[in-house]
Amino acid sequence: MEYKVSLGPQHPALHEAVSLRMTLDGEVIRDADLKLGYSHRGIEKLAEERSYIQNIYLTERICGICSHSHTTCFTQGVEQLMELVPARRGLYIRTIIAELERVHSHLLWLGVAGQEAGFESFFMYTWRDREVIMDILEWISGNRVHYAMNIFGGVRRDIDELQRKKILDSLELLKKRTDYYLNLAASEPTFVGRLAGVGKLSREDAIALCAVGPTLRASGIASDVRRDDPYAVYSEMPFEVATADSCDVLGRAVVRIKELISSYAMLEFLLKNLPEGPFKVKAPRKVKPNEVYSRYEAPRGENVHYIKSNGSDKPERLKVRAPTLANYAATIAMLKNGFIADIPLIFAAIDPCICCAERLVQLDDGRRGDSRVLSFSQLRAMANERAKKIDFKKRKIAWPF
């Protein structure tokens, strides 16, 4: 007998608010549907009211873990609009921070995967090593989470000789630890037994459902924005795109560990070849009318910002497509024909950042219970219609601060 179960939006197995409606046959999920929009923050609308410099810090706050990804994506887009060539040393430092962020994000993910698989000590060890990276980031940028390193034309802070040496020293330690984790992930029978064969996503499905990042690469497709459409200084660096052919959660873990190892090699290359010179150039405040589509390989996959300028110091439109949104369709395919007990693991395997991806405009009719998707212009017309009905004189609204 088939029956329907809904999970979330508030559920201990899910770390963020997302609702899952499933059709079950015993313990097996036959059909699943995701409902989003529980933590929409209106960042895109806010960005239209702020200047480009203010928007750097706003886009940084889209995500806590890939904060540098969003700012870099936004900054390099705006630099293209400004027709500005950033300082070379600035680009190198930007890439160093990006790779350090990838390392800390993947170590965090490994810990989460360990925890979801019931391997708590793995969680403790990876997070212990992540502290090394967090300390480096705090030392370079002045903060652990929001580095605020990007500015149009380069970066805001330089890396000195002492910091360069310390990062290189820490990398040695991290390399050793990561080799140990790769060994552990491949040879510990309980861990392998829990992850292997869970959340299958075939190569064809991964392409058809537009999966991105490690989810796509674990299905055997070597796709990486850093190689396919190089930005910053990735075109000058030798690196290989890590892939796995097992198409399951174990494959995603292996891809991430391999990416860690390639990130260490990249960091070493960048730090050893750090060019001399200024780390930023002066940027104009106003931007000519134009539009740009900026791509960036965040730790979770391809991150996209679309920016439209109108000649003023504020953007006309900013559209953000966070990598998690692209992976939702693949997640549903992964959940189908899996067990209920695997839901947290499959969800964790795409490294979800649900708040970052909340951009959908969907209206629910409370009385009828159906929902529909509206276009931007339709929504605007609706908002105008609604605003006409409100009598602002009657409402006593006072700004409390």
Q: Which residues bind another protein (CB under 8 A)?
A: 50-51, 53-58, 61, 121-122, 125, 128, 138-139, 142-143, 146, 148, 151, 156-157, 180, 183-184, 186-189, 192, 401
Residue owning tokens 């940028």:
141
Instruction: Write down the least CB distance from residue 184 to another protein, Å.
Output: 6
The answer to whether 353 and 336 have CB atoms below 8 angstroms apart is: no
CB of 192 or CB of 340, closer to another protein: 192
- Rounded CA separation 284/265 (Å): 35
Instruction: Calculate ∠ Cα 118-123-126, nearest 5°.
Output: 150
The label of the residue with tokens 């990838």 reads: 102
Q: Which amino acid is at 344?
A: P
Nearest distance from C-beta of residue 60 to another protein, angstroms: 8
Q: How far is the CB of 71 from another protein (least distance, A)?
A: 11
Tell me which DSSP letter residue 275 carries: P
Q: What is the nearest approach in angstroms of another protein to the Cβ of residue 143?
A: 5
Residues 6+ apart with CB under 8 A from 78: 52, 152, 287, 292, 307, 309, 315
Q: How many residues does the chain have?
A: 401
Q: Looking at beta carbons only, is 142 or 275 nearer to another protein?
A: 142
Question: Measured from the CB atom, is 20 or 151 closer to another protein?
Answer: 151
Task: Report in angstroms how near the CB of residue 186 gets to another protein at its nearest.
Answer: 5
In order, the DSSP letters of 79-142 are HHHHT----HHHHHHHHHHHHHHHHHHHHHHHHHHHHHTT-HHHHHHHHHHHHHHHHHHHHHHS
| Apex 141 CA angle, 136 and 144, nearest 5 | 65
CB of 353 to another protein, least distance (A): 20
- At CA 395, angle to CA 393 and CA 397, rounded to 5? 110
Q: Do 215 and 202 touch, CB atoms closer than 8 A?
A: no
| Shortest distance in whole angstroms from residue 188 CB to another protein | 6
Nearer to another protein, 26 or 193 (CB): 193
Cβ-based nearer residue to another protein, 143 or 235: 143
**Nearer to another protein by C-beta: 3 or 401?**
401
If the CB atoms of residues 1 and 162 are measured against another protein, the closer one turns out to be 162
